[in-house]
Amino acid sequence: MTPGVTSSSETITHSFSQTSNRSLYTHEIEIRVRYGEVDMMGYLYYGYYSFYYEQARVETMRSLGIPYKRMEELGYLLPVRDLHIKFIKPAFYDDVVRIKTMIKKMPSVRHDFSYEMFNSKGELINAAETTLVYLDKESRKPVDCPEFVKELLRPYLEH
């Protein structure tokens, strides 16, 4: 099990958003910060944020109908190329954080995800971006995003 992930406290929503002539796909989950994930100050340890964002990204893809397991069965791997995190405020033990995941542009070989993490007061406490790369499972060489992924994103990203 991925640290920090408890299905009993997870809430999932997704939506189409359009702002400033810009379309995007959004999806949200909530995760409760567990005791074993905090440091001596009671803050969510910085290393766990990447686990939370991974869970948010996996659930975003699942919400589109593309579980990662299925991608692997179809011969695609999606390693993380880049991860950038901006720490604004800490999350604390037993907080329920809401993570909004956004896909802002059609993927190619690279698939970019943006994240915003909010505390229960609705305050932005963390923001991040990841870039994943589509690889052929056998050759481990970069390949273009599969057409079926683009088809699922097209209603949200092309307006």
Q: What is the mean pLDDT of residues 16-43?
A: 83
pLDDT band at 88 (very low <50, low <70, confident <90, very high): very high
- Domain hosting 47: range is 7-154
Residue 21, domain CATH = 3.10.129.10
Domain-located, residue 2: no
Query: Does some domain include residue 87?
Result: yes
Q: Is residue 124 part of a domain?
A: yes
Check residue 109 and give its pLDDT. Answer: 98
**Residues whose CB is less than 8 angstroms from the CB of residue 19 and which lie 6 or more positions away in sequence, other chains included:** none
User: Using one digit for the tens of pLDDT, what is the confidence trace for 125-142?
Assistant: 999 999 999 999 999 999
For the chain, the domain total comes to 1
Residue at 96 is within a domain:
yes
Task: Determine, yes or no, domain membership for 65.
Answer: yes
Residue range 52-64: average pLDDT? 97
Q: Are 135 and 71 in contact (CB under 8 A)?
A: no
Q: Is residue 159 part of a domain?
A: no
**What is the DSSP secondary-structure string of 61-117?**
HHHTT--HHHHHHTTEE--EEEEEEEE-S--BTT-EEEEEEEE-S--SSEEEEEEEE
The band of 18, judged by pLDDT with boundaries at 50, 70 and 90, is very low
Band (pLDDT 50/70/90 cuts) for residue 5 is: very low
Residue 1 domain-assigned (yes or no)? no
- Has residue 14 been placed in a domain? yes
